[in-house]
């Protein structure tokens, strides 16, 4: 039984490393674009706190070698992500994130370690830290759900990375099995809950995976062929009106008051604009703001 739990623990280590490494693609994009866009920093902040405390828990646990290795590596990953987020986040989000890091990853972590070492003794230390770790692990599994509002509002999973959700689901299942074998309630309970929450995230991803965000649809409708068609149709209608006016009698036309130069010039500009071909219309439109920022309208 001990050997089986060790093997599952090794598998859990491998999967957990994949979980911690899954945001690499996201942060590669952040560094490339030099912006965090609508990504949330909370999952990485809470995971940094969780992995740090689990490392502390593993150090105090005589059988906690596998807990120490995986969470020590995880803490290093999360620290890098948090630093990158602080570097590339907008100023207002950067300030809020920095405050949250100071409160949770410095203040709270230091307080828990101090209280554990000074106020508790023996097995009570493991119990105290285990309860806190269990609560934080549940928060870690639930933290990607903070983007659920954005996903439902935009009908897009653009800001909910699939790999992170998938590996959290897989990770929770393996560690739940490990906890049953070693009879560790502090590892078992949060990972069982994480397995349920991971399933919910995958269901949400399947629901909105192939749906475009409202923002992308607006850009396509505003810059695509639909707008061109409306303008060309307007140009055709204007031509019909102009032809009807030209067919009227010259005397009746002369009896009308002559427009002043500025009004006549404005009418000529409108008629000229509405008479453009679709290609000329498209080439005369200004670039979308996002195109100017990104340098390529095809880029996300």
**For the chain, how are helix, strand and coil distributed in percent, rounded to 5?**
80, 0, 20
What distance in Å separates the CA atoms of residue 298 and residue 201, rounded to the nearest whole number?
28
User: Do 173 and 228 belong together in one domain?
Assistant: no
Structural domain boundaries, residue 278: 218-294
pLDDT at 184: 92
DSSP state letter for 213 = P
pLDDT at 153: 77
Please give the full DSSP string across 12-48, using - where no structure is assigned.
HHHHHHHHHHTTHHHHHHHHHHT--TT--SHHHHHHH
Mean pLDDT of all residues belonging to the chain: 74
User: Do 18 and 139 belong together in one domain?
Assistant: yes
**pLDDT for 250 beyond 50:** no
The answer to whether residue 222 sits within a structural domain is yes
% residues pLDDT > 90 (the chain) = 33
Structure tokens at 57: 């828990």
DSSP state letter for 295 = S
**pLDDT for 233 beyond 50:** no
Asked if 194 contacts 15 with a C-beta cutoff of 8 angstroms, the reply is no
The residue out of 191, 211, 231 marking a domain boundary is 211
Cβ neighbors of 190 (< 8 A, separation 6 or more) are 133, 134, 135, 137, 138, 141
Q: How confident is the model at residue 195 (pLDDT cuts 50, 70, 90)?
A: confident
Q: How confident is the model at residue 268 (pLDDT cuts 50, 70, 90)?
A: low
C-beta atoms surrounding 8 within 10 Å: 19
C-beta atoms surrounding 112 within 10 Å: 19
pLDDT digits (tens, 9 = 90+) for 150-178: 777 777 777 777 777 787 788 889 999 99
User: Do 10 and 151 belong together in one domain?
Assistant: yes
pLDDT digits (tens, 9 = 90+) for 20-63: 887 888 899 999 988 888 788 888 898 899 899 999 999 999 88
The answer to whether residue 177 sits within a structural domain is yes
User: Do 79 and 205 belong together in one domain?
Assistant: yes
% residues pLDDT > 70 (the chain) = 66
Cβ neighbors of 167 (< 8 A, separation 6 or more) are 15, 18, 19, 22
pLDDT digits (tens, 9 = 90+) for 2-17: 688 889 999 999 998 9
Asked if 191 contacts 220 with a C-beta cutoff of 8 angstroms, the reply is no
pLDDT digits (tens, 9 = 90+) for 277-294: 433 333 333 333 333 333
Q: Which residue has the tokens 């309860």?
A: 131
User: Do 178 and 263 belong together in one domain?
Assistant: no
The tally of domains found in the chain comes to 2
The answer to whether residue 132 sits within a structural domain is yes
What distance in Å separates the CA atoms of residue 280 and residue 107, rounded to the nearest whole number?
61
The answer to whether residue 299 sits within a structural domain is no
The answer to whether residue 62 sits within a structural domain is yes
User: Do 12 and 45 belong together in one domain?
Assistant: yes
């Amino acid at each position: 039984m001990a050997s089986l739990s060790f093997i599952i623990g090794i598998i859990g280590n491998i999967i957990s490393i994949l979980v911690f490494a899954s945001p690499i693609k996201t942060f590669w994009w952040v560094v490339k674009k030099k912006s965090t866009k609508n990504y949330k920093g909370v999952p990485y902040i809470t995971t940094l706190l969780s992995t740090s405390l689990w490392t502390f828990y593993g150090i105090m646990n005589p059988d906690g070698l596998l807990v120490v290795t995986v969470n020590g590596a995880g803490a290093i990953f999360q620290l890098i992500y948090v630093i990158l987020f602080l570097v590339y986040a907008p100023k207002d989000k950067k300030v809020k994130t920095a405050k949250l890091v100071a409160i949770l990853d410095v203040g709270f972590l230091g307080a828990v370690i101090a209280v554990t070492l000074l106020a508790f003794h023996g097995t009570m230390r493991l119990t105290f830290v285990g309860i806190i770790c269990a609560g934080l692990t549940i928060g870690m599994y639930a933290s990607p759900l903070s983007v659920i509002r954005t996903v439902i509002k935009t009908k897009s999973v653009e800001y909910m990375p699939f790999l992170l959700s998938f590996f959290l689901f897989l990770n929770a299942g393996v560690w739940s099995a490990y906890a049953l074998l070693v009879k560790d309630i502090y590892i078992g309970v949060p990972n069982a809950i994480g397995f349920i929450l991971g399933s919910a995230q995958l269901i949400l991803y399947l629901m909105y995976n192939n749906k475009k965000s409202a923002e992308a649809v607006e850009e396509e409708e505003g810059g695509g062929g639909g707008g061109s068609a409306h303008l060309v149709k307007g140009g055709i209608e204007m031509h019909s009106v102009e032809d009807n006016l030209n067919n009227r009698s010259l005397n009746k036309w002369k009896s009308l008051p002559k427009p002043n130069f500025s009004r006549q010039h404005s009418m000529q500009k409108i008629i000229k604009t509405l008479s453009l071909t679709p290609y000329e219309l498209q080439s005369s439109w200004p670039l979308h703001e996002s195109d100017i920022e990104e340098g390529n309208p095809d880029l996300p």
